Amino acid sequence: MRTAVKFGGSVITRKSEPLSIRSDVLVRLASELSVFRARHRDHELVVVHGGGSFGHPLVEECLHTAGHIDRGCFSRVSFYMDFLNHVVVEALLSSELPAVGVSPRSICRGVEYADCDVEVVGRLIDAGVVPVLHGDVTLSKDGFKVVSGDDLVWYLTKSLGVGRVVFVTDVDGVYDKDPRTASDAKVLSGMHINEVLGAAEFWGVRDVTGGMLGKLRKPLILGVKGVEVYVVNGLIPGNLLNALEGKKVVGSVLWV
Ligand SMILES: Nc1ncnc2c1ncn2[C@@H]1O[C@H](COP(=O)(O)OP(=O)(O)OP(=O)(O)O)[C@@H](O)[C@H]1O
Ligand SMILES: [Mg+2]
């Protein structure tokens, strides 16, 4: 079986503090992945991480000042995302996982499924390594654009026979409404993603990749089917490992 794990920028970085990594959380998530892999040798993994405070603030600044991603912005965002990717890969290597960074801007000629050559990632998985992709900027025919890490998770899932997707985030799952303002807000679980989209409110889309809604919409657009989808809180120790092992989690257990 193949599982795709998305390390949300919300959990591996502090999204409100530019260029700030939650090293303790990252190291723990890496060790949970490593424990899983040691227990399930034949289970293949691919990792995607988000931009968090290494991607979103810079992109927003460019969009605000230039109105688009110019070449200066493209190079800076590329640099900082590569930097974050190195830190993530280093954490995985330190946990004895054979992780290899893959730069989406080198395999995508745009931001859509058809623009990305994910077959090369499949070959790496076949060779027993753990590819580590990330939200990125890429050159499309209409200029420099953001390719979302969440979208990449679904592109890999559609092409590479991934049976389970685990989104590791900073919240306890997909809520029906904002728990900060509604005391009766509940985490939705045991549902098809389509049902979740009808039952949940989505708030605070602070970046161009669409927050929680961005994660759940894409598989329906791509026609992905037969996949288990976990949205779990990565700030809770053991929660990622429990999701990987199909045990009880703090989070939403969904399917598409
Ligand atoms: N219905 C909802 N249930 C849970 N969280 C929601 C919901 N609607 C919006 N959100 C927001 O989505 C956020 C998670 O998405 P966000 O894009 O910020 O994180 P991420 O994808 O982990 O980070 P990155 O984009 O950097 O990888 C939560 O922190 C929460 O504020
Ligand atoms: Mg996001």
- Per the prediction, the chain carries an average pLDDT of 96
Whether 139 has a pLDDT exceeding 90, the answer reads: yes
Nearest alpha-carbon partner for 101 in 165, 155, 49: 49
CB of 234 shorter than 6 A to ligand 1: no
Q: What is the CA radius of gyration of the chain?
A: 17
Q: State whether the beta carbon of 169 lies less than 6 angstroms from ligand 1.
A: yes
Share of the chain above pLDDT 70, in %: 99
Count helices and strands in the chain by DSSP H and E runs: 10, 10
CATH of span 2-255: 3.40.1160.10
Domain boundaries, the chain: 2-255
Q: Are 6 and 244 in contact (CB under 8 A)?
A: no
Residue where the block lists tokens 């691919």: 46
Quote the DSSP letter at residue 148.
Answer: P
Q: Is the pLDDT of residue 167 over 80?
A: yes
How many angstroms does the Cα of residue 207 sit away from the middle of ligand 1?
A: 10
Task: State the pTM of this model.
Answer: 0.98
pLDDT attached to residue 97:
98
State the pLDDT at residue 207.
75
What is the per-residue pLDDT across 57-103, written as a single tens digit (0 to 9) for each? 999 999 999 999 999 999 999 999 999 999 999 999 999 999 999 99
Q: Identify which ligand lies nearest to the alpha carbon of 203.
A: 1
Residue located nearest, by CA, to atom 17 of ligand 1 = 211
